[in-house]
Amino acid sequence: MNIARKFTAAAAAAATAALLAAPAAATDLRFATGFAPNSTGEKGALAWADHARDISGGDLNIQVFAQSLLKFTEMSGGVRDGIADMGMVLFPYFPAEYPNSTMISELTMLFASMNTGDRGGIAWAGALTEYITQHCPACVEEMKAQNQIYTSSSSTEYLLMCTKEVKSLADMQGIRLRAPGAQWTRWAQSVGATTVSIPQPEIFEGLTQGILDCSLQGAAELVDLSLIDAVKYIVRDVPGGGFGGTGQVNVNIDTWQALTPEQRTDLLKSAAYHGAVVSWNYHVNNKAALEKAAEKGIGIIDPADDLRSHTVAFIENDLANIARNYQEKYGLKDTEQAVATFKSIFERWTGLVADVQSAEELTDLYWNEALSKVDVNAYGF
């Protein structure tokens, strides 16, 4: 080898060594959510962005776009096509694209039959995270078909909020109800109510103008959507459930694969925090909103025995209907087993969250019980 070649080889080796020794460049990531600015959802996303930056040593810089980059109805395609690097994807908005995941989202009325109280949402988010990442390869594959990977979920309990007193089966006859999911629509039909389709920003107007008699919402929306000025009665425990089909941080696959294994691990750790902090904030804000409602004189009532017992019976019967519906409509396999598997996982999680007292404790649970078991070198490839 001549002197010039020796010099060139030495320089190349030195450059390669320097490159390997240098810290990875900070990665800028755009996250889109359909939550409104200053809402519980947006505040959770901003806290998550700070958390991701902290645990990655500044390596993950996440910019949050609340209702400005993509709407919830645009989210799946937007993340798929890279308009956002990451986004909050609501599976029930896209059942044909995410049938396996959407099927599970219809099971949240288990909150009522399992008597989860105000901890159904925090249990559900952990259970769904574990189920999709560890027990549902079909869920993972349907995400990949949309050029995405799933990381975590959030959830909260829904209550029946009405402008008139509704306690019994007889009271439900003819009630005009906003039901934000197929399972609640079936329940509404079973009790003689009529469902009305109204976008979330128009719920207040619907209640005040008599278009709606009742709406199913998280208690925090009493404040976030100003429903406290429209609602007169809140019914606990019936019909039960919450929104259970959240891809809290779905990541574009090209973005995911471009990250280093360390960055992927940090992103998963921060996704555990995001699901936890949003679910926990709803848990806390729901309580605070109900206290405000009581102070304002809104009636917070328990359902009559006939409405409660009808609802519990409906839930158990509807589990089989959900499995059959998704098998027939989308050609899914082993749906009864999938429902049974998730029900068992959810029951375990109701015990896991029983004594949790903070978002930090919940983050540890979501990480240790679910996301720490994901192989970042294989997942999403």
Q: What is the CATH number of the domain that holds 286?
A: 3.40.190.170
Quick check: 28 pLDDT over 60? yes
- Is 12's pLDDT higher than 50? no
Give tens-digit pLDDT for 41-88.
899 999 999 999 999 999 999 999 999 999 999 999 999 999 999 999
Residue 94, pLDDT score: 96
CA distance 359 to 275: 9
pLDDT of residue 26: 66
Residues 252-276 pLDDT 10s: 999 999 999 999 999 999 999 999 9
Overall number of domains in the chain:
2
Confidence of residue 40 (pLDDT cuts 50, 70, 90): confident
Domain boundary among 182, 209, 235: 235
Residue 84 lies in a domain: yes
Predicted confidence band at 25 (pLDDT cuts at 50, 70, 90)? low
Residue 367: which of 296, 270, 298 has the closest Cα?
270
Ranges 117-121, 129-133, 316-320, most confident: 129-133
In a domain, 17, yes or no: no
Do residues 125 and 272 share a domain? yes
339 found inside a domain: no
Across the chain, mean pLDDT equals 92
Q: How far apart are the first and last CA of the chain?
A: 42
Q: Is the confidence at residue 13, as pLDDT, over 90? A: no
From CA 262, how far away is CA 268, in angstroms rounded? Answer: 10
pLDDT range class, residue 218, cuts 50, 70, 90: very high
Quote the pLDDT of residue 19: 33
User: Does 168 lie in the same domain as 58?
Assistant: no
Whether residues 198 and 51 share a domain: the answer is no
Q: Give Rg (Cα) of the chain.
A: 23
| Averaged pLDDT, 107-125 | 94
Res 11 pLDDT > 50:
no
Decide the pairing of beta strands 27-33 and 86-90: parallel
The answer as to whether 332 is a domain residue is no
Average pLDDT rounded to a whole number, residues 323-344: 97
What are 296's two structure tokens? 């304002």
Are 105 and 67 contained in the same domain?
yes
Question: Is the pLDDT score of 380 beyond 90?
Answer: yes
Query: When comparing pLDDT for 60 and 201, which is higher?
Result: 60
Q: How far apart are CA 342 and CA 123, in angstroms?
A: 12
Residue 13 domain-assigned (yes or no): no
Retrieve residue 278's tokens: 């949003």
pLDDT category of residue 181 using cuts at 50, 70 and 90: confident
Q: Is the pLDDT of residue 119 over 50?
A: yes
Asked whether residue 89 falls in the same domain as residue 175, the answer is: no
For residue 174, pLDDT beyond 90 = yes
Please give the Cα distance from 266 to 51 (Å, whole number). 10
**Same domain membership, residue 124 and residue 59:** yes
Averaged pLDDT for residues 312-318:
93
pLDDT band of residue 302 (cuts 50, 70, 90) is very high
Across 21-33, b (16+ Cβ under 10 Å) vs e yields: eeeeeebebbbbb
- pLDDT band at 22, cuts 50/70/90? very low
Separation of alpha carbons 311 and 158, rounded Å: 15
Q: Which two tokens stand for residue 106?
A: 């219809």
Same structural domain, 88 and 186: no
Q: Is 330 contained in some domain?
A: no
Residue 275 lies in a domain: yes
What does the pLDDT average to over 331-359?
Answer: 97
Show the domain range for 252.
Answer: 25-155+244-297+345-373
Whether residues 149 and 293 fall in one domain: yes
More confident residue, 162 or 316: 162
The verdict on 267 and 142 lying in the same domain is yes
Final residue belonging to a domain, choices 193, 208, 235: 235
Q: Are 57 and 133 in the same domain?
A: yes
* 45 assigned to some structural domain: yes
Q: Can you give the pLDDT at residue 273?
A: 98
Q: Are residues 134 and 281 in the same domain?
A: yes
CB atoms within 10 A of CB 208: 14
The predicted model gives 107-136 an average pLDDT of: 95
Would you say 278 and 41 are in contact if contact means Cβ atoms under 8 Å apart?
A: yes
Mean pLDDT over 276-293 rounds to 96
Same domain for 265 and 145, yes or no, is yes
Last residue of a domain, one of 235, 259, 280: 235
CATH at 179: 3.40.190.10
Specify the pLDDT at position 201. 83
Q: Is 211 left (phi over 0), alpha (psi -120 to 50) or beta?
A: alpha
